[in-house]
């Protein structure tokens, strides 16, 4: 039987209790995008500051919602900070793969081909690290949208 | 008199397990489960009676037509309509409200006319008026909700001044609040406005008499009152239905069609274009029979007692951790209990409860303006009906302790 411990792993609850990179960034120079889950009213705001070399030198997360959406956003912010935009895009693909989502549209207007990467091996060399803890979400299909909300919002802000 | 103790066994769906636990269904404000009598009535219709209605000349078609019109008569009697022609069948309460906004609104309102609604309305009683505002430039005014979960009527005279329509829910789908519809209808009429009642949460749970309520229009849906999804009702005083232009065009709603135009059928068929949902109407008729056999005043009493038990038990067991929205007095409310549990998100509360086989709804309940008033984006909601009993509420109280175990920090 699927247990709640598959969903509410300790690392997830830790990011929910103590969200990382919580706050706002000044826009501009930062870019900002909002994502909503109309089903449950969850809201994620992603602020992204990218330097001239294409490196994400700062990220902030706003909004409110359930433990899965908020912890996923927190873990995402840690994972992408200091990474290049290109690597962040690869992480999006890797995370969506983890969530077993093979939709052709990865958030915003960017299709996989428009992102300039092929799904096969797109996440090559990318370590999901703590994000692996969200793997159990797949056993609770209605929560997948919670877990992917921040990633769709990230894709949106990268495409803008 | 209390409900008979065998009610739960009339509902086959309730006899199953989820995650190793007997299902505890606490989401009837969302949709109700169906008694065997309703399921059987619909099966029997398809096994013995199905034909298209109002047009066949053979005996079977006459029987199908009688089934549809018989259901209409049952619904009419159930809410004490003056005539069966005042009962318009729709797809659901949302369609009933849209029909009203389209047909009555387009016909009777002009730019600048005011429609008054409240902050505790379901989106079905908000968005059609927003859409009418966009089409016709009407003004939308809002009755506020106070901290106790009641309508704040202190400014009603000003809100109704010059208004053409007052449209309010009889019972909030979030707070459970029962609103003083008869008094509101009187105030509306004194101000020269007509009164619309969203009775989606009311007709299933409280004895309903449209004459006593004094309203002009009343909408509700079948699926929240033990009937199938796909059938709703618009009740309106005959004079209003007569004056309103038709809704959808097509078969059934006409008397005659030529190359130059058409003439409309009599009410209520003027508003029922196309082949109607006959089996669903039969199901609604069977649901009305079932509820009438239980006795609607018994249904109401059962829910007042259960609500009182729920409010008491949840507060005793969970103290300051639980905040239950809406009126504190069970007699002033229905069995819809929206609550916050500590600062745990409703989606997580519902997930943990599901693991114990308990079905509650988490979200904004199609009442986002009310969520803004409550200062939240979502609530958990447990809602009761005839098949619920005290053991269901004990299980809810038990399972909420698991929420505490996982999320207390």
CATH for A129: 3.90.1010.10
Task: Note the pLDDT of residue A125.
Answer: 56
pLDDT value at residue B5: 87
Measured in angstroms, the CA of B347 and the nearest CA of chain A are apart by 6
* Interchain contact, A8 vs B346, CB within 8 Å: no
| A 11-30: CB under 8 A from B | 13, 17
- End residue of a domain, out of B269, B293, B317: B293
Q: Of A29-38, B10-19, B184-193, which range is least confident?
A: A29-38
**Total structural domains within chain B:** 2
Q: Smallest CA–CA separation between A84 and chain B, in Å?
A: 33
A98-102, A138-142, B84-88, B209-213: least confidently modelled range: A98-102
One domain for residues B308 and B360 = yes
User: CB atoms < 10 A from the CB of A128, how many?
Assistant: 17
- B217 & B305 share domain: no
CA A40 to chain centre: 18
Catalytic residue among B359, B366, B371, B397: B366
Mean per-residue pLDDT of chain B: 96
Query: Which residues, 6 or more positions from B62, have their beta carbon under 8 angstroms from its beta carbon?
Result: B56
User: In the prediction, which pLDDT does B194 show?
Assistant: 98
Q: For residues B158 and B81, state if they share a domain.
A: yes
Please report where in the chains the tokens 């409550």 appear, as a residue: B374
- The pLDDT of residue A142 is above 90: no
- Check residues B252 and B94 and name the one with the higher pLDDT: B94
To the nearest whole Å, the CA of A5 is away from the closest chain B CA by 9
What does the pLDDT read at residue A101? 56
What residue numbers bound the domain in which B371 lies? Answer: 7-30+295-407
Averaged pLDDT of chain A: 82
Average pLDDT over residues A41-64: 92
Residue B311 has pLDDT above 60, yes or no: yes
With a cut of 50, say whether residue A108 has pLDDT above it: no
User: How many structural domains is chain A composed of?
Assistant: 1
Contacts of A43 in chain B (CB under 8 A): 377
Burial (CB count within 10 angstroms: exposed 0-12, middle 13-18, buried 19+), residue B6 = exposed
What was the pLDDT predicted at A102? 45
A131/B159: higher pLDDT: B159
Which of chain A's residues have a Cβ under 8 Å away from the Cβ of B407? 13, 67
Q: Which of A4, A7, A66 sits opposite B345 (nearest CB)?
A: A66
* Minimal-distance CA residue of chain A relative to B18: A1
**Cα Rg, chain A, nearest whole Å:** 15
DSSP code of residue B166:
E
| pLDDT at residue B280, as a whole number | 98
Is the model's pLDDT at A107 over the cut of 80? no
In a domain, B1, yes or no: no
pLDDT for A112 beyond 90: no
User: How far is residue A54's CA from residue A147's CA, in Å, rounded to a whole number?
Assistant: 26
What pLDDT sits at residue A71? 93
Question: Domain of B239: which CATH number?
Answer: 3.40.640.10
Mean pLDDT across the stretch B369-392? 95
Q: What single DSSP character describes residue B100?
A: I
Q: How confident is the model at residue A160 (pLDDT cuts 50, 70, 90)?
A: confident
**B156's tokens:** 């009603």
Q: Are residues B210 and B151 in the same domain?
A: yes
Give the residue numbers spanning the domain of A52: 4-159
Contact A43 B371 (CB under 8 A): no
| B235 within a domain of the structure (yes/no) | yes
In this prediction, residue A27 carries a pLDDT of 86
Contact A66 B407 (CB under 8 A): no
Q: What percent of chain B has pLDDT over 90?
A: 93
CA distance linking residue A146 with residue B170, whole number of Å: 34
* Min Cα separation A72/chain B (Å): 14
CB atoms within 10 A of CB B239: 10
Task: Check if B366 is active-site.
Answer: yes
Among A28, A21, A27, residue whose Cα is nearest residue A44: A21
Do B279 and B220 fall into the same domain?
A: yes
Tell me: pLDDT of A117 over 60: no
d(CA B65, CA B292): 23
Residue B26 pLDDT more than 90? yes
Q: Which of B18, B342, B351, B360 to mutate to test the interface with A (most CBs of A within 10 A)?
A: B351
Q: Is the pLDDT of residue A120 over 50?
A: no
Same domain, B221 and B315: no
Q: Please tell me which residue, B327 or B5, carries the higher pLDDT value.
A: B327
**Lowest-confidence range among A36-45, A48-57, B5-14, B58-67?**
A36-45
- In this structure, the answer to whether residues B226 and B196 fall within a common structural domain is yes
Reported confidence tier of residue A126, pLDDT bands at 50, 70, 90:
low
Q: Is the pLDDT of residue A128 over 80?
A: no
* Per-residue confidence (pLDDT) for residue B403, from 0 to 100: 92
**For residue B195, is pLDDT > 70?**
yes
Query: A36 touching B, CB under 8 A?
Result: no
Final residue of a structural domain among B245, B271, B293: B293
In this structure, are B157 and B289 located in the same domain? yes
How far is Cα B12 from Cα B387, in angstroms, rounded to an integer? 11
Mean pLDDT value across residues B245-274? 93
Are B265 and B368 contained in the same domain?
Answer: no
Domain stop point among B293, B320, B355: B293
């Amino acid at each position: 039987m699927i247990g709640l411990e598959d969903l509410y792993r300790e690392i997830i609850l830790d990011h929910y209790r103590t969200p990382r990179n919580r706050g706002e960034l000044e826009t501009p120079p930062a870019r900002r995008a909002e994502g909503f889950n109309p089903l449950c009213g969850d809201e994620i705001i992603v602020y992204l500051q990218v330097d001239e070399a294409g490196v994400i030198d700062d990220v902030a997360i706003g909004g409110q919602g359930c433990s899965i959406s908020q912890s996923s956003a927190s873990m995402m912010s840690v994972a992408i900070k200091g990474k290049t935009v290109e690597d962040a895009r690869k992480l999006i693909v890797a995370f969506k793969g983890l969530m077993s989502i093979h939709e052709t549209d990865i958030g915003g207007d960017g299709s996989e081909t428009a992102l300039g990467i092929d799904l096969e091996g797109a996440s090559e060399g990318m370590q999901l690290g703590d994000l692996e803890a969200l793997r159990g979400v797949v056993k609770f299909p209605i929560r997948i949208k919670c877990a992917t909300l921040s990633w769709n919002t990230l894709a949106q802000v990268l495409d803008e | 008199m209390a409900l008979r103790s065998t009610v739960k066994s009339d509902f086959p769906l309730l006899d199953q397990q989820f995650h190793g636990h007997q299902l505890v269904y606490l989401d009837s404000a969302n949709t109700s489960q169906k008694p065997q009598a309703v399921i059987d009535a619909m099966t029997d219709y398809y096994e013995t009676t199905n034909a298209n209605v109002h047009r066949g000349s053979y005996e079977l078609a006459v029987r199908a037509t009688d089934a549809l019109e018989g259901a209409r008569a049952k619904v009419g009697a159930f809410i004490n309509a003056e005539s069966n022609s005042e009962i318009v069948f729709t797809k659901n309460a949302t369609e009933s409200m849209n029909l009203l906004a389209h047909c009555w609104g387009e016909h009777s309102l002009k730019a600048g006319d005011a429609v008054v609604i409240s902050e505790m309305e379901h989106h079905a009683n908000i968005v059609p008026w927003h859409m009418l505002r966009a089409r016709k430039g009407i003004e939308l005014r809002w009755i506020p909700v106070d901290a106790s979960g009641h309508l704040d009527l202190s400014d009603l005279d000003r809100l109704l001044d010059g208004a053409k329509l007052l449209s309010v829910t009889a019972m909030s789908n979030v707070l459970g609040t029962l609103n003083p519809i008869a008094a509101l209808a009187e105030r509306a009429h004194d101000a020269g406005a007509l009164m619309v009642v969203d009775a989606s949460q009311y007709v299933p749970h409280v004895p309903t008499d449209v004459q006593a309520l004094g309203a002009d229009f009343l909408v509700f849906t079948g699926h929240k009152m033990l009937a199938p999804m796909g059938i709703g009702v618009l009740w309106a005083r005959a004079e209003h239905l007569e004056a309103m232009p038709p809704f959808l065009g097509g078969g059934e709603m006409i008397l005659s069609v030529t190359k130059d135009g058409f003439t409309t059928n009599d009410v209520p068929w003027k508003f029922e274009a196309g082949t109607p949902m006959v089996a669903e109407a039969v199901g609604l008729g069977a649901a009305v029979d079932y509820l009438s056999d239980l006795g609607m005043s018994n249904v109401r009493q059962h829910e007042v007692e259960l609500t009182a038990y729920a409010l008491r038990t949840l507060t005793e067991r969970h103290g300051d951790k639980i905040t239950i929205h809406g009126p504190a007095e069970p007699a002033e409310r229905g069995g819809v209990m929206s609550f916050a549990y500590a600062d745990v998100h409703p989606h997580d509360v519902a997930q943990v409860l599901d693991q114990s086989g308990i079905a509650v709804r988490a979200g904004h309940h199609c009442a986002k303006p009310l969520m803004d008033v409550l200062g939240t984006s979502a609530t958990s909601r447990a809602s009761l009906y005839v098949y619920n009993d005290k053991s269901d509420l004990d299980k809810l109280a038990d399972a909420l302790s698991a929420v505490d175990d996982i999320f207390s920090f």
